[in-house]
A and B are shown apart, each in its own frame.
Chain A
Amino acid sequence: GAGVSQSPSNKVTEKGKDVELRCDPISGHTALYWYRQSLGQGLEFLIYFQGNSAPDKSGLPSDRFSAERTGGSVSTLTIQRTQQEDSAVYLCASRIKGRVAGANVLTFGAGSRLTVL
């Protein structure tokens, strides 16, 4: 697609429920990142996918968080047994890899705002 697409844009859930957030990166972008932005805060790295390599999961805050990327394209971030502190905007970004113009630049989606009641 023309840009990074994220869905849902807003999700309200009850504590203890599982949620799935979806990211569709720009076509041809092999690297995909998930970040979390709590209200008024900076961006917290969660996980990074690059092609067929094993993902860098070093930013996932607990084992309730997981992510997968199918077919090297769409990614799903899953949060199990949600807690109120999981409330945040979850941002997905992608970038192209290689020695091409703009290869270093992350292009972000509009984010998924998660509210856990």
Chain B
Amino acid sequence: AQKITQTQPGMFVQEKEAVTLDCTYDTSDQSYGLFWYKQPSSGEMIFLIYQGSYDEQNATEGRYSLNFQKARKSANLVISASQLGDSAMYFCAMREATSGTYKYIFGTGTRLKVLA
């Protein structure tokens, strides 16, 4: 069965520093997708970045990059040059694409606090 693990319930980072949020996953499928979402205190879920299992390059979107290590089944999110507005809950998610299941499962989240 699919599983997403985020082991850091909370993280602090100084403004303008980089931070890595950890995510490991478990799947028996060869084709899958990995996602990161941001949830500010307002509650909306904001898509940040996507990595396909066959993508050889790590995904990047502005200050966000996904450190994809397939053999280790990890998909860590790296936020560079942290800003106060980055303070939020961050969720890692996975979608399997070949098992006929199109559910997206989410980790328990990491609460990031950016310090001025």
Contacts and interface: CB of A to CB of B under 8 A. Distances in A.
Contacts of A111: 43-44
A111 to B, nearest CB: 6
Interface stretch (A60-68, A70-78, A102-110): A102-110
A48 B47 contact: no
* A-side interface size class: 20 to 34
B interface: dominant SS: strand
Interface residues of B, number: 21
Contact of A105 (B35, B43, B91, B107): B35
Contacts of A110: 43-44
Given A104-B50, A107-B47, A45 B107 contact: no
Contacts of B72: none
A43 B43 CA distance: 12
Contacts of B37: 108
Contacts of B43: 89, 110-111
Interface string B40-56: 00011101001010000
Interface stretch (B16-24, B62-70, B73-81, B97-105): B97-105
Interface of A: 31, 33, 35, 41-43, 45, 48, 50, 56, 58-59, 89, 91, 93, 104-108, 110-111
